[in-house]
Amino acid sequence: LSIFTAVASAAPGNLRLPRVIVSQHGTITQPTADSTTLPSPLVPGTSFPFAYQDSNWCEGGYTPITVWLLDYAPTTGNLNATGQFTDALYSYGLFLIPNFGLKPLPGSAPPPPATLTIPEVPESAIGSPMYLAVVETANTCP
């Protein structure tokens, strides 16, 4: 069961990050809505802080998330049957959040990094609003 959980948007050259949160799910906590830590304009290769607080509504030991960069405001309707954005500008990949003080799970996806790097994006996306999206997945609910 894949669940679209939180979206923060950033318009290049504008440090405001409007936030849309789907209720009962996790939250992008970095960058913040009033962040001044994003580069302006958004330059490929530049890092910015990233943190996501999972909801862990399924009370699992580990929460898988995927992080995406989009050129449109995402909704659950934009996800395919496997919980992915097929037309994303960039996929930062799969991460596994350890819950309850557990250590990272050896041989699995790493925990989310503290920073993400702005990737090269198509020329058509430069100067347009970009959106950071996180998909939180629940695998084994009791």
pLDDT in tens, 73-96: 888 889 898 889 999 999 999 999
Tell me if 67 sits within 8 A of 133, measured CB to CB: yes
Mean pLDDT of 123-138: 82
Tell me if 140 sits within 8 A of 58, measured CB to CB: yes
| Amino acid in the structure at residue 120 | E
Lowest mean pLDDT, pick from 19-23, 88-92, 113-117: 19-23
Output the six-digit token pair for 38: 């994003």
Query: For the chain, give me the number of helices (H) and strands (E)?
Result: 0, 9
| Predicted pLDDT of residue 33 | 64
Tell me if 30 sits within 8 A of 91, measured CB to CB: no
| Predicted pLDDT of residue 96 | 96
pLDDT band at residue 124 under the 50/70/90 scheme: confident
